[in-house]
């Protein structure tokens, strides 16, 4: 149930269990327009797949073995643990205990064929970034690093000399992602409050890091807007900052640490719907069970959609975590921890969210969600 008020209390971004999606479609409704995929993060790891109907409802399609090992824990604080290729024909997932990445071919909505499992080039992979035919992985433990791969329809090949460090060996990194142009990579470090940027050549090789201070403490999730500006959550004070990003990767604050009035702002997604009057950014406040929406203005500044910071209140037992937006930009899907499920919303032109589905059943250890 959605509530009209905020109950934000303790700071906590630790993830709890996540999702699964059972059928919610009306009887006789069969049109499939996309799919949602979950990294189950179980000891014998699996991807959980669901088809998405035109009305945003989801139907369980099956589980697929990654042939790797997850941590089976509910506390993987990262964004991007499972990603689709830009054309939607390949799916990549991290196996953080076996220290590798699995690649699947997407043969239809919610239908996967195992292709390959390769070493991540480090310890405890937590996040993935993809641009064209280049995949980067963020390894979080021992000597934290990023490592790159080229991929084709048949599998992945490591790019020689692509492994690069972060600001320090154990910065508790949360996410890696490409800029819209593919010429930059960004990594968020929670413990050090640093943002690392790397320039990327046409070969896929990166140079860096250029280590910069986050405007606020505990940068966690982030997403680029249409103009290549960066929107970053800050878990410590539950805030969001926006940055201009130069071609060299230098960051300049536009809006600094705008509080969302919740607790533990963590995972971030942006819309990209040309039919809407504005672009919007959303963040989950894991410790207060709410989601905050922001309008991204033409100058890159951000503003809360709701004066109290509550675009959605998921209820007193909810701890929303990762999110994904459908490829058509019509729906936003939010993973929940304690509630062990997923809630789906239709995105309105004014940025408000209307709930269309609520489902449950997946492993409590799940983290990471991808949608098309």
Q: What is the pLDDT along the chain (372 residues), one digit of tens a residue?
A: 343 333 333 334 433 332 322 233 333 334 679 999 999 999 999 999 999 999 999 988 999 999 999 999 876 899 999 999 999 999 999 999 999 999 999 999 999 999 999 999 999 999 999 999 999 999 999 999 999 999 999 999 999 999 999 999 999 999 999 999 999 999 999 999 999 999 999 999 999 999 999 999 999 999 999 999 999 999 999 999 999 999 999 999 999 999 999 999 999 999 999 899 999 999 999 999 999 999 999 999 999 999 999 999 999 888 899 999 999 999 999 988 767 888 999 999 999 999 999 888 888 888 999 999
Q: Are 97 and 117 in contact (CB under 8 A)?
A: no
pTM for the whole structure: 0.91
- Give residue for tokens 């050549």: 201
Q: How far apart are the first and last CA of the chain?
A: 26
Tell the CATH topology of 32-371: Methylamine Dehydrogenase; Chain H (2.130.10)
> What pLDDT is stored for residue 177 in this prediction?
98
Give the separation between CA 28 and CA 15, rounded to whole angstroms: 36
- C-alpha–C-alpha distance, residues 70 and 337, integer Å: 17
Q: Give the start-end residues of each E strand in 120-179.
A: 123-131, 134-141, 145-152, 155-158, 164-165, 173-178
pLDDT at 75: 63
Question: Residues 120, 137: contact at Cβ < 8 Å?
Answer: yes
Please give the order of strands across the beta sheet that includes 46-53. 58-65, 46-53, 32-39, 369-371
**pLDDT the model gives residue 16:** 31
Q: What are the respective helix, strand and coil percentages of the chain, to the nearest 5? A: 0, 50, 50
């Amino acid at each position: 149930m959605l509530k009209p008020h905020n109950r934000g209390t303790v700071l906590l971004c630790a993830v709890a269990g996540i999702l699964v999606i059972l059928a919610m479609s009306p009887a006789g409704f069969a049109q499939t327009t996309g799919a949602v995929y979950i990294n189950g993060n179980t000891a014998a790891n699996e991807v959980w797949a669901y088809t998405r109907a035109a009305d945003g409802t989801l139907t369980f399609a099956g589980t697929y073995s990654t042939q790797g090992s997850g941590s089976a824990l509910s506390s993987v604080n990262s964004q991007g643990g499972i990603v689709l290729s830009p054309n939607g024909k390949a799916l990549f997932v991290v196996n953080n205990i076996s220290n590798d990445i699995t690649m699947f071919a997407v043969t239809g909505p919610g239908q996967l064929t195992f292709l390959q499992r390769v070493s991540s080039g480090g310890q405890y992979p937590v996040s993935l970034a993809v641009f064209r035919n280049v995949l980067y992985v963020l390894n979080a433990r021992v000597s934290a690093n990023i490592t790159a791969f080229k991929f084709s329809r048949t599998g992945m090949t490591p790019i020689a000399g692509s492994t690069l460090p972060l600001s320090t060996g154990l910065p508790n990194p949360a996410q890696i992602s490409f800029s819209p142009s593919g010429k930059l990579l960004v990594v968020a470090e929670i413990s050090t409050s640093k943002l690392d940027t790397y320039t990327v050549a046409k070969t896929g090789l990166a140079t860096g890091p250029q280590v910069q201070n986050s405007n606020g403490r505990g940068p966690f999730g982030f997403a680029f807007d249409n103009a290549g500006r960066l929107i970053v959550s800050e878990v410590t004070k539950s805030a969001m900052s926006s940055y201009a990003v130069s071609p060299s990767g230098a960051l300049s604050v536009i809006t600094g640490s705008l509080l969302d009035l919740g607790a533990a702002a963590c995972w971030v997604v942006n819309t990209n719907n040309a039919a809407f009057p504005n672009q919007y950014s959303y963040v989950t406040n894991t410790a207060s069970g709410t989601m905050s929406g922001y309008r991204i203005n033409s100058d890159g500044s951000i503003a809360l959609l709701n004066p109290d910071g509550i675009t959605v209140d998921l209820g007193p037992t909810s701890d929303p975590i990762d999110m994904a937006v459908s490829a058509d930009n019509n729906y936003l899907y939010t993973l929940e921890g304690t509630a062990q499920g997923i809630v789906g919303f239709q995105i309105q032109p004014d940025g408000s969210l209307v709930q269309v589905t609520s489902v449950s059943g997946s492993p409590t250890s799940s983290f990471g969600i991808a949608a098309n």
